[in-house]
Structure 1
Amino acid sequence: MDIVHVINLLDTGLKTYGAMDTLQRELHARIANGEHPNSFLIFEAEASYTAGRHTQPHDIIDDSIPIIETDRAGSVTWHGPGQLVCYPLVKLAAPVDVIKYIRAVEGAVIDTLQQHFGLAVDRIEGRAGVWIENRKISAIGLKISQDATLHGISLNINTDPASAFAGVIPCGITDATVTSMAEEGVKTSLQDVAEVLTDALEHRLVPLLAPESIKGEVNVYHPAG
């Protein structure tokens, strides 16, 4: 449909979380003010841990590792090589239905993994993200400010099970594990998954967007770096 602008940085190497957080906030401010089109920010991060608003001290196993505090929902998680990060940065129609937005983002991940990669993923009642039985394959942490969205999806493609998430209890959940597409028998690339995921996200999110954010010509702002 090409209604949402895709900023795909996968071919530019690993990114620091700090740099991507700065970029998403710059874009968010412009989108909220109608100065930039709705966008999906796609990247692969250097290894880092981020703690959302609901992180508890016992969620961090190794207190020597650097933890970056962030304002998204959820607990502590890991970002790093082999994980696809996608931030939908879009202006939602008012009044914003937060639950409908969360379900749309989760639904796009489920559509991607079920329909295109044959994985038996689903939601689990009372738990965020996307799961294969008791194995979490995708974490979702979101924020909405000025009717525009920040943060988003981390989807494990071919992460290293020996090192990823090793220093924390992912998302603060003690009775479940983390998995990846590779561990579930699907060999693919971040780029291939990103192409499918952005299409699924656009399909799910377009009905929720503010009408003025998808009409007319807007000059696309390309951040430096």
Structure 2
Amino acid sequence: MGENRLVVRRLGLVEYEPTWRAMQAFTARRGPATPDELWLCEHPPVFTLGLAGKPEHLLRDVGIPVVKIDRGGQITYHGPGQLVCYLLLDLKRRGLSVKTLVHRMEQAAIDLLAGYGIAAERLEGRPGVYVGGAKIAALGLKIKNGCCYHGLAVNVAMDLSPFEAINPCGYPGMAVTQLAAFAPAADVATVGVKLLAQLEEKL
């Protein structure tokens, strides 16, 4: 079981691009015995565009940088007040398929929100977690040599207005929401502890 332990790193508020490059470097140099890691952080305002991302999903320039990255999916927004959890896992060693991992990540967010009395759900064909049809958590992964990086972003208590400048995850007019709309006292640090507990249980 030792090799399936999870090393947790709390990075605080960190720039997006260096964090992404650090995930790539970690994955490139890891070996069969490298422990898996979960990184918790927040990012300054940034739009990220996935591999197949279409630039037209950025509707207007609001002065927020756009970074083209190597996960699946379209465009999304990261900013302060959003909890980001990166999962750096050896899927082969854990016996996880990508589909199973995505399901467990979504379930971790659903169970986390249930703890706040919020009924969240999946929507068919749209990865992520939704409350009343509005997206509250997004996920994206990159798989390389049987290992993954990128992860899960949960809107906790943030300025949601930048989402209006994009088609979130490529869906025009998709509503977004956040935990603070239902639990005003929610903060990123506390939610991070609860999300970690959910992920550690499900992985």
Residue identity opposite 2:138 in structure 1: A
Match of 2:145 in 1: 146
Task: State the number of aligned residues.
Answer: 199
CA displacement at 1:145 relative to structure 2: 0.8
Could you say if the C-alpha distance between residues 36 and 75 of structure 1 is closer, same or farther in structure 2, counting changes exceeding 3 Å? same
Look up the match of 1:39: 37
C-alpha contact (below 8 Å) 1:30/1:36 kept by paired residues: no
Higher-RCO chain (CA-CA 8 Å, sequence separation at least 6): 1
Q: 2: distance between equivalents of 1:185 and 1:85?
A: 18
TM-score (norm 1): 0.82
Deviation of the 1:167 alpha carbon: 2.3
Q: Which residue of 2 aligns with 1:129?
A: 128
Mean alpha-carbon deviation: is it higher for 195-204 or for 177-186?
A: 177-186
Partner of residue 169 from structure 1, selected from 148, 160, 167: 167
Percent of aligned pairs sharing the same letter: 34
Kindly state the Cα deviation for residue 64 of structure 1 after the two structures are TM-superposed: 6.7
> How far apart are 1:149 and its partner, in Å?
0.8
Gaps of 5+ in 1: 206-225
1:76/1:172 contact within 8 Å kept:
yes
Q: 1:54 and 1:201 mapped to 2: Cα distance?
A: 28
Counterpart of 1:60 (choices 54, 58, 61) is: 58
Contact 2:130 2:137 survives alignment (8 Å) = yes
The CA deviation at 1:26 is 2.2
Cα gap change, 1:30 to 1:197, in 2 (>3 Å): farther
Asked if structure 2 preserves the Cα contact closer than 8 Å seen for 1:6 and 1:40, the reply is yes
**Residue 3 (structure 1) aligns with:** 5
CA distance in 1, matches of 2:26, 2:107: 24
Which residue is 1:222 aligned to?
none
Describe the superposition over 1:3-42 as per-residue Cα deviations: whole angstroms up to 9, x where unpaired: 21100112xxx211011112212222343x1353111011
Number of the residue aligned with 2:26:
27
Residues 110-134 of structure 1, C-alpha deviation per residue, up to 9 Å, x if partnerless?
Answer: 11111x2111101001111000021
User: Partner of 2:103 in structure 1?
Assistant: 103
SS in 2 for 1:164: helix
TM-score, reference length from structure 2: 0.90
Contact 1:77/1:171, CA 8 A, preserved across alignment: yes
Q: Distance in 2 between matches of 1:24 and 1:35?
A: 17
CA contact (8 A) 1:122 1:132 kept: yes
Counterpart residue type for residue 157 of structure 2: N
In structure 2, C-alpha distance between the alignment counterparts of 1:139 and 1:54, rounded to whole Å = 16
Residue 120 of structure 1 corresponds to: 119
